[in-house]
Amino acid sequence: MTKTNLVLSSILLTAASIASLAGCTSKAPPVTLNVSAAASLTNVLKDINNLYTQSNSNVTITPNFASSGTLQQQIEQGAPADVFISAASTQMDNLQKENLILPETRGNLLTNMLVLIVPSDSTLNLASFSDLTSDSVRKIAIGDPKSVPCGTYAVQAFTELGITAALQPKEVLGSDVTQVLNYVQTGNVDAGIVYSTDALTSNKVKVVGNAPADINAKVVYPVAVVKASKSPDAAKNYVNFLFGSQAKAVFEKYGFTVLGK
């Protein structure tokens, strides 16, 4: 065999080896991630999840949106969950104490603001939380403070302002912040307490006041991988993506402030 033929044979063998290796390379196995997230994240996470699956085509994300307290109970009862994003530290703290999350994956992801909203056509001229004591205000929607962080923060604000007793007879409790928003935008209540990001999603409400600064400073969204996850590596990759620049741009578009991990 001539030298030229030897070179050609070597090239052909190399090409065949590469082709063989390529044929043996399998695609990433399909993964389903169950993401349990606070109701106030419904709209923004839909966009972020679509963005994530564009570059992770083997991953299917199944979101579960509800109040943080409800999600905590579901995880405690063994409901499928790979990632938990709470609207307050309390629910995440509880799961960590129960050894139900991977603590090394936990991080504070976002902050938000508590605001007072009224229907866009309201003529009550409310300008602050304290104005809710007015006789003209008959019904105020807040999240159920037993399970909805936004409702817990609202009650804390009422206590700080010394208006709790005056407002309790007027309170209409929602199962999550989305329901509170709906009560206000349909005119079923005179006012409601939601996050500023929720108010931005509706042209049927307007913001007329903010919670005290020290209350808003408490609003934080922690995230962690659930210990019982069947796909912990994929879940960790998803959590890392939430802290990345692509997700940050989407969060900020919806009015959230992104924190460092």
In a domain, 63, yes or no: yes
Name the least confident of 4-18, 182-196, 240-254: 4-18
Per-residue DSSP letters for 168-222?
Answer: GGGEEEESSHHHHHHHHHTTSSSEEEEEHHHHTT-TTEEEEEE--HHHHTT-EEE
Instruction: Using a pLDDT cut of 90, give the percent of the chain over it.
Output: 89
- Helices then strands (H, E): number in the chain? 11, 11
Backbone angles phi, psi at 150, to 5 degrees: -60, -35
What pLDDT was estimated at residue 3? 45
In a domain, 52, yes or no: yes
In a domain, 13, yes or no: no
pLDDT tens-digit map of 110-123: 999 999 999 999 99
Same domain, 85 and 157: no
Same domain, 106 and 135: no
Is pLDDT at 2 greater than 80 in this prediction?
no
Same domain, 122 and 145: yes
Same domain, 85 and 47: yes
219: closest CA among 85, 143, 114?
Answer: 114
User: 211 falls in which pLDDT band (50, 70, 90)?
Assistant: very high
What pLDDT was estimated at residue 261? 64
In a domain, 195, yes or no: yes
Same domain, 106 and 119: no
Same domain, 209 and 226: no
User: 222 falls in which pLDDT band (50, 70, 90)?
Assistant: very high
Show which of 199, 216, 233 is a domain's final residue: 216
CA distances from 260 to 44, 106, 110 (A): 18, 12, 9
CATH number at residue 54: 3.40.190.10
Same domain, 174 and 232: no
In a domain, 80, yes or no: yes
Q: What is the tally of structural domains in the chain?
A: 2
The pTM of the full predicted model, rounded to 2 decimals, is 0.84
pLDDT tens-digit map of 58-100: 999 999 999 999 999 999 999 999 999 999 999 999 999 999 9
109: closest CA among 138, 85, 82?
Answer: 85
What pLDDT was estimated at residue 28? 82
Q: Distance between CA 187 and CA 128 in Å, rounded?
A: 19
In a domain, 10, yes or no: no
- In single-letter form, the type of residue at position 70 comes to T
Same domain, 91 and 45: yes
E strand residue ranges, 12-128: 31-38, 59-66, 83-85, 107-111, 114-119
User: 19 falls in which pLDDT band (50, 70, 90)?
Assistant: very low
Give the range of the structural domain holding residue 166, as residue numbers without chain letter.
Answer: 114-216
What pLDDT was estimated at residue 27? 74
In a domain, 8, yes or no: no
Same domain, 204 and 161: yes
Same domain, 138 and 67: no
User: Helix-strand-coil percent breakdown of the chain, rounded to 5?
Assistant: 45, 25, 30
Same domain, 35 and 64: yes
Same domain, 211 and 118: yes
The rounded radius of gyration (Å) of the Cα atoms in the chain is 25
In a domain, 189, yes or no: yes
Q: What is the dihedral of CA 97, 100, 105, 110, to 10 degrees?
A: -70
Taken in order 62, 177, 95, 88, is the CA torsion positive or negative? positive
What pLDDT was estimated at residue 15? 43
